[in-house]
Every structure is written in structure tokens, then in C-alpha cells.
Amino acid sequence: MTSAERLRRRRCIGLRVGVLLAILLAAFSGGDWGIVAVAGAGGLLALGAYWRDCRRPARDPARTDTHTHAS
């Protein structure tokens, strides 16, 4: 495992933890709408970053795409 793969894996784990903490904070702070709003916004931001960066395996730069598009 290279350093870049290790960092990507840690970032994805951190994003998962962040989403979980945002959900817990929003769930246990039901009376204060300001905290719920901030937790929800932070959770959605972390979820968006996770969805963009971590839902697919890392691309292998040594592998070339064999798909070609005809014009």
C-alpha cells in the first residue's frame, strides 16, 4: 500500500466518522434547531465528499482505458 492509498483510506474513514457524528449530534440535539441545522449541513457536506471520493476504488494509473468513442 502506497502512501497515497493510505491517505485516501484514512480520509474516507474520517468522512464516515464525520457523517456518523453529524447524525448523532442532530439526533440528540432535537430541541435546538441551530445545532441540528449545522450538524445537518456538515453531515451533508461530508457525505458529498465521501460520495465523490470514496465510493469507487482508486484509479490505477498503470491501467489504461480500452474504451474508445467513435465520432
Domain membership of residue 39 (yes or no) is yes
The band of 1, judged by pLDDT with boundaries at 50, 70 and 90, is confident
Domain membership of residue 66 (yes or no) is no
Number of domains in the chain: 1
Domain membership of residue 7 (yes or no) is yes
- Better-scored residue on pLDDT, 1 or 6: 6
Secondary structure of the chain as H, E, C letters: CCHHHHHHHHHHHHHHHHHHHHHHHHHHCCCCHHHHHHHHHHHHHHHHHHHHHCCCCCCCCCCCCCCCCCC
Domain membership of residue 59 (yes or no) is no
The domain of 15 spans 3-53
Tell me the pLDDT tens digit for each residue of 11-61.
999 999 999 999 999 889 877 899 899 999 999 999 999 999 898 765 655
- pTM higher than the cut 0.85: no
Domain membership of residue 19 (yes or no) is yes
Domain membership of residue 22 (yes or no) is yes
Give me the sign of the Cα torsion angle 56, 1, 4, 50.
positive
